[in-house]
Amino acid sequence: MNRNIFPYRIVFMILCFFVLMPVVRAAGPKKPLKCVAPAYLKPGDKVALISPSYYCSMETAFQAADTLRSWGYEPVTGPNVGKQFLEHYAGTVEERLSDLRWALNDPDIKAILCLRGGYGTLQLVEDLPLKELAASPKWLIGYSDITTLLSMDACAGVMGIHGVMGCNIAKPDSTGQSCPLLRDLLKGNVPRYELPAHKENIQGRATGTLVGGNLATFAPLLCSQVNEIGQSDIILFVEEVEETHHNIDRLFNMLKISGVLAHCKGIILGDFTDCENDVGYESVETMLREYIAPYNIPLLCGFPAGHEKVNLPLVIGAPVTMDVRSDGATLTFDIPGEQQMVRAERLSVPMTVEMAQNTSHVPLKHPFLLIVLILGIISGMACFSGRCLKS
C-alpha cells in the first residue's frame, strides 16, 4: 500500500459515508404508517366547505350547507369558495391553499368537506408541509382529485375519508346510502362491509393500512413528499374514471415498477367508470389481475367506491382487514367507534325522472303503463294464435 495516499483514502471514505448515508436511509425500510383518527363530530360542530380543485358554484355550496345543517352541523364556507380562475380552477393556487389553511388552523372547525374534485390539488403539494396537517387532526373528506390531500393526510399521520363531496351531498337522494353512511361515520358508526363474490377476486386474508384513491391522481405522488409506499403493510385501493384501458395499464405498471405492488398486503379495486376498452381485455379487473396474481396477495374487485352514483366511504390511513372468500368478502376498519354491518352489493340508488328518461325500460312509478303494455302483448299473442289455429 502506498502510505502517501492512505490519508486521502481515509478522508474520501469518511466523505462517502456522510454523503451516502442519507441515501441509504431513504432507500431503507420505513416505519409502518400509523395514523390517528380525528375526533368524531358532535351536534353543532363546524364543518368547513372548501374547493381545492375545480370551480364549484355557490348554489351547490349552499345546497351542501343545507344538508350539513340537516345532519346537525354548522357549515362554514371558505372565503374563496365561488371564485373562478382560468375557467376551471376554484381560484388561484394561493386562494385555494389559503382556504385549506384557514380550515386546518381554525380550532372550531372539526371536519373539512371538499366541494368538488377535478384537478388542482397536485399544485398544492410543495407549498403545504405535512406538519401543518399533523398539527390539527380533523376529518378531511373527498375523492377523485382529493386523493392528493387524503394521501398527504395519511403521510402526516392523520386518517381521512374517501367519500362523497359537497357536490354530491347537495343532492343526497341521488347517491343511495353513500350520504347516510358518511353522516353515520362522522358520528362514530364505522361500517363493516360485506361484498358479493367477484370472478376476478383472489382469495386470501390480509391486514394493513388503507391507502390510495384515484389511480391517475395517486401515481404522480410517488415522486413527491407524499409517498406512502415505503411501508410493507399497505392495502391499496384504486378507482378510475374516463381513462382508457391502456392508460390504466400504464399507470398500474408505474406502481409495479416503482415497487408499490411489492409492498402491498392486499389490493382493492373500486369502480372504473366510463373507461374505454381499447386493449382487448374483458375488463379492467381482468387486466389488472395479471399484474397482481404473481404477488400472491388477496384481490377484492368491484368495491362500490369511485365515480358511480354509489360511493361508499373508506377511511384512508386506517388499519383494515380484508377477507376474500369464494362466497364473498368483508372489509373491516380497526378504528374506534361502533361497528355496523353494511351489505355492499350495490346499494340501490332511487330512480329520478332524469334517470328514468335515460333508461330503456318503463319507469316503475307508472305501473298502469306497464299493465297496459303487458295486456297489449297478451292480446296480440292471443289474436296471433287464433289466426294460426284457423289457418
| C-beta of residue 96 within 8 angstroms of C-beta of residue 141 | no
Mean per-residue pLDDT, 236-246: 97
Cell representation of residue 375 = 295486456
Per-residue b/e over 167-177, b at no fewer than 16 CB within 10 Å?
bbbbebebbbb
At residue 144's C-alpha, the angle toward residues 211 and 152, to 5°, is 45
Mean per-residue pLDDT, 54-74: 97
Cα 378 to Cα 391: distance, rounded to the nearest angstrom:
20
Give the Å distances, CA to CA, from 248 to 185, 211, 219, 273. Answer: 31, 18, 11, 12
pTM, two decimals, is 0.82
Cα 258 to Cα 215: distance, rounded to the nearest angstrom:
14
- Please check the confidence at residue 154 and state whether its pLDDT lies above 60: yes
Question: What is the model's pLDDT at position 228?
Answer: 64
Mean pLDDT across the chain, nearest whole number? 84
What SS3 class is residue 122? helix
Banded model confidence at residue 173, pLDDT cuts 50, 70, 90: confident
Mean per-residue pLDDT, 197-223: 96
- Please check the confidence at residue 296 and state whether its pLDDT lies above 80: yes
- Please check the confidence at residue 3 and state whether its pLDDT lies above 70: no
Mean per-residue pLDDT, 188-202: 97
Q: Which residue has the higher pLDDT, 217 or 31?
A: 217
Question: What is the model's pLDDT at position 112?
Answer: 98
CB neighbour list of residue 248: distance below 8 Å, 6 or more residues apart: 215, 240, 272, 275, 284, 287, 288
The 10s digit of each residue's pLDDT in 344-378 is 875 544 433 333 223 233 333 334 333 433 444 44
CB neighbour list of residue 130: distance below 8 Å, 6 or more residues apart: 152, 155, 156, 225, 226
- Please check the confidence at residue 47 and state whether its pLDDT lies above 90: yes
Question: What is the model's pLDDT at position 330?
Answer: 98
| C-beta of residue 160 within 8 angstroms of C-beta of residue 149 | yes
| C-beta of residue 324 within 8 angstroms of C-beta of residue 300 | yes
Banded model confidence at residue 30, pLDDT cuts 50, 70, 90: low
Cα 236 to Cα 253: distance, rounded to the nearest angstrom:
14
Question: What is the model's pLDDT at position 50?
Answer: 98
Taking every pair of Cα atoms in the chain, the longest distance, rounded to a whole number of angstroms, is: 120
What SS3 class is residue 191? strand
Question: What is the model's pLDDT at position 128?
Answer: 94
Q: Which residue has the cell 330503456?
A: 360
Question: What is the model's pLDDT at position 312?
Answer: 97
Banded model confidence at residue 229, pLDDT cuts 50, 70, 90: low
